[in-house]
Amino acid sequence: MIITNNEEALRVNCEDVLQEEIGSLVELLEKELDNSAKLGRPGIGLAAPQIGIAKKIAIVRLGDNLNINLINAKIKQGLQPALFRDEGCLSFPGRVETTTRFQEVLVENQFANFNSFIATGLLAVVCQHELDHLNSTLFMDKIAAKVVSKKNKVGPNDPCTCGKLDLSTNKVKKFKKCCGR
């Protein structure tokens, strides 16, 4: 069961995952994510601390073709900080916030299909969110300040922070033609 509305239980120190633990932990995380969707609370990621397991593992499920397991993963670099609207968390049902997140991150991953990869748009935000869980950080810790400097704002011609693709170019849509309308 996913822990809800309990910051203390979610702010735990996580241990590295051993290779022999991966299969059962991924299976358990997928089961809990599926159960949450059946209860009317669909999600696109889940970290082990959210189900009471203090291990450095999380899953990202963004549609049929984008399934990533984050195992002992770290964000090595983040580029283009921007505001991300309506970030939520399965552990805090109904709560959404505007957060400050990187639009692009370099993720180093262990024991996974991708040992390192660059995530952009929505995938970058989800990776940051789930990896934060593994480091005792919650999304409300990333709430955007009321006064934001100009360099952190998304311009009309910048890639949209939601990560939606323009199918004609296979690139992230520009903010002005997506969420900035």
Asked if the structure places residue 32 within a domain, the reply is yes
Tell me which of 8, 21, 104, 130 is the catalytic residue. 130
- Quote the CA–CA distance of 60 and 68 in Å, as a whole number: 5
Asked if the structure places residue 127 within a domain, the reply is yes
> Mean pLDDT throughout 93-112?
92
Which of the two residues, 42 and 168, has the higher pLDDT score? Answer: 42
Asked if the structure places residue 176 within a domain, the reply is no
For residue 44, name the pLDDT band (cuts at 50, 70, 90): very high
Asked if the structure places residue 172 within a domain, the reply is no
Asked if the structure places residue 112 within a domain, the reply is yes
Q: What is the pLDDT of residue 136?
A: 95
* DSSP code string of 133-150: HTTT--GGGGBPPSS--G
> How remote is the C-alpha of 170 from its chain's centroid?
22
Taking the CB of residue 110, how many other CB atoms lie within 10 A of it?
17
**pLDDT digits 0-9 by tens, 6-29:** 999 999 999 999 999 999 999 999
Q: Is 30 a catalytic residue?
A: no
Q: What is the pLDDT of residue 148?
A: 42
Q: What is the pTM of this model?
A: 0.79
What is the CATH number for 83? Answer: 3.90.45.10
**pLDDT digits 0-9 by tens, 104-157:** 999 999 886 668 999 999 999 999 999 999 999 999 999 986 434 445 556 677
Tell me how many degrees the CA angle 10-118-76 measures, rounded to the nearest 5.
Answer: 60
Number of domains forming the structure of the chain: 1
What's the per-residue H, E or C state across 163-178?
A: CCEECCCCEECEHHHC
SS3 content of the chain, % helix, strand, coil (to 5): 30, 30, 40
DSSP state of 115: S
